[in-house]
Amino acid sequence: MRTSRATLVGGVVGALVVVEFTSGVLQGYYTPLFTDVARHLGIQDADINWFEAAQLLLSAIVVPFMARLGDMFGHRKILIFSLVVTLVASIGVAFAPTFPIFIAAWALQGFYVVWLPMNISIIFLRARDRPNSAALTRKGAGLIVVALQAGAIIGALAGGQLGTIFEGRLWLTLSVPAVLVAVALLVVIFKVPDPGVRAGGKVDSRGTVVLSLALLAITGGLSLVRLHGVTAWVFGMVLLGIFLLWVFVRVEQRSADPLIDIAMFKRPELWPVFLTSALFGVSVLGAQGPLSTFARTDPGEVGYGLGANSATASYLIGGYVMSLLVGAGLFAQVSRSLTPRKVLIGASALVATGYFALIPFHDSFGQVLGCMIVAGVGSGALVAALPAAAAAAAPPHQTGVATGLTNTTKVIGGSFASSAFALALAGGAVVTTSGAESTAGSLSGYIAVWAICGGTAVVATIFLFAVPKVAFMSPPIGDVDGLPAADAGGAVAPDAHPREG
């Protein structure tokens, strides 16, 4: 058993660590360079918000579709395809001469969101024939998420330093991520074998179109909140998106090869995971901007904030991301002592505790850092636990869709949160101690942000108690929802789901 575990972790997982490290670099590298990018493209700083909006829109749309294709045609093939798209887009980001071209390349670079669900699906399918398959999946998920968070930290530091070293040559600074993506692509091609499992079926074109329109309407409507506040257009687009989601459910229930098997949302071990992912997206995707701006707010002017400069604020954000890394690293180890269900509940409770603690304890750098570390440990565990739990609970031929849904629901939750938080921080006039109007967010808005993050984590914790106590444990080999047992060489009976020869 030790040999098989070492082979899995040291081989496939070791290669996928490179992929997720690169994903982390992509997510952290550009942040210190946004001002330089804005000046290069001749745009206002406020236009940078379109970067996040564009990638959120694309990731919400492509993940369900690409996850389904992964189950149908092979997760490794879809991983390679998404790496190629990201590589081309990263080159485009480095050399884009105009804002429209840059924003198009930036949106396409968001294909990296496909990597994590594909990677965890590959790990799970490689380990599925072993008695401890769920434990191996959790261990592999923990390792690659640690690599993801480490990449985010190193990426942020490297982006800032290289931006200074290569000052005046922005194209050279922006080319570094493209090189890393190329390395990750080669590693997957030469070091990651195809697990071989295929679900077969056809592409659900009607479901894909309806779901894409629904997510586009919802996330697009929420993006308008940042520009014009809550308007009739916002309500109209969100309501249209919700209606289209209802239509999507009806279409999928009648489809022989649905994009998303709606029955998965009825499984008692899966629907709380998807709901938790959406609620978790509120804090992990929506609360980081407010954290940064609160740290930079001068208490001498408005009576609250930490008055940090950019360097000090980076230590706060770095401490939070480091705690995410720790939480992801501890996830697999703690799961061996406790059930995965208990780990999910405990991680959600930590997120709630950290954010609720910020309401009374936000007067000093140490207080805020301590609260964010508590929330970060829980968040890191959830980043690793949710897709691993979905993979363990889903039918083997739908692991890609299940893990992808944890990402999609998280993005939707983050979209709702970012818009709601923008409104909360803008509410209430803020004046300086001298009586002048301030551009800082209101203290009541920050308290609302922390209360919402804590409250959604509490709701997630409550719903996770509905998960069966034995959920996410390793099933008997070959006895998962009727999937035939594998022989010693990994082959299955001819009537099994199609496999690549």
Domain positions in the chain:
1-192, 204-258, 264-473
Joined tokens for residue 148:
């993801």
pTM over 0.75: no
pLDDT of residue 482: 35
Which one-letter amino acid corresponds to residue 108?
Answer: L
pLDDT of residue 88: 97
Q: What are phi and psi of 499, to 5 degrees?
A: -125, 155
Q: What are phi and psi of 197, to 5 degrees?
A: -75, 135
Joined tokens for residue 390:
């979905």
- Helices 340-358 and 365-393 pack at an angle, to 10 degrees, of 150
Which one-letter amino acid corresponds to residue 137?
Answer: T
386 vs 415: CA distance, rounded Å: 19
Residue that is written with structure tokens 């701006």 in the block: 293
Q: What are phi and psi of 124, to 5 degrees?
A: -65, -45
Q: Which of 412, 411, 110 is nearest to 238 (CA)?
A: 412
Q: What are phi and psi of 361, to 5 degrees?
A: -115, 85
458 vs 440: CA distance, rounded Å: 29
Q: Which of 424, 423, 442 is nearest to 432 (CA)?
A: 442
Q: Which of 87, 77, 76, 82 is nearest to 181 (CA)?
A: 87
pLDDT of residue 104: 92
DSSP designation for 474? P
Residue 341, CB half-sphere, CA atoms under 13 Å: how many? 18
pLDDT of residue 93: 94
- Rounded to 10 degrees, the C-alpha dihedral 334/338/342/343 comes to 10
- Any long-range contacts for 425-430 (C-beta under 8 Å, 24+ apart)? 425/290, 425/293, 425/449, 426/229, 430/302
pLDDT of residue 22: 96
pLDDT of residue 430: 60
Instruction: Quote the Cα angle for 27-31-35, to 5°.
Output: 150
Assign domain 264-473 one CATH number from 1.20.1250.20, 3.90.1150.10, 1.10.287.610, 1.10.1520.10.
1.20.1250.20
501 vs 335: CA distance, rounded Å: 35
358 vs 362: CA distance, rounded Å: 5
Torsion-angle region of residue 308: left (phi > 0), alpha (psi -120 to 50) or beta?
Answer: beta
pLDDT of residue 288: 74
Joined tokens for residue 444:
């009541």
Q: Which residues pair with 467 in a beta bridge?
A: none
Query: 384 near 138, Cβ under 8 Å?
Result: yes
DSSP-derived 3-state class of residue 210: helix
Beta carbons within 8 Å of 375's beta carbon, 6+ residues apart:
283, 320, 323, 350, 351, 353, 354, 355, 453
Rg (CA), the chain: 22
178 vs 92: CA distance, rounded Å: 9
pLDDT of residue 48: 65
* 207 burial level (CB within 10 Å; 0-12, 13-18, 19+): buried
406 vs 386: CA distance, rounded Å: 7
Do 1-192 and 264-473 fold alike per CATH? Answer: yes
Q: Which of 296, 330, 263, 265 is nearest to 446 (CA)?
A: 296
Topology at the third CATH level for domain 1-192: Growth Hormone; Chain: A; (1.20.1250)
Query: 230 near 419, Cβ under 8 Å?
Result: no
One pLDDT digit (tens) per residue for the chain, 501 residues: 444 444 454 578 889 999 999 999 998 888 777 767 877 888 765 466 567 667 777 877 788 888 888 888 888 999 999 999 999 999 999 999 898 899 899 989 989 989 988 998 888 877 776 766 667 777 787 788 788 878 888 887 788 788 878 888 889 999 999 999 999 999 999 999 886 666 666 777 888 889 888 878 887 787 777 666 678 888 899 899 999 999 998 988 888 777 777 878 888 878 888 888 889 888 887 777 778 778 877 888 878 888 877 567 667 777 888 888 888 878 777 877 877 788 889 999 999 999 999 999 999 999 999 999 999 999 988 888 888 788 777 776 777 778 778 877 887 787 777 777 777 776 655 655 555 666 667 888 889 889 999 999 999 999 888 777 655 655 433 433 333 333 333 333 223 332 232
Instruction: Quote the Cα angle for 146-147-150, to 5°.
Output: 85
pLDDT of residue 426: 67
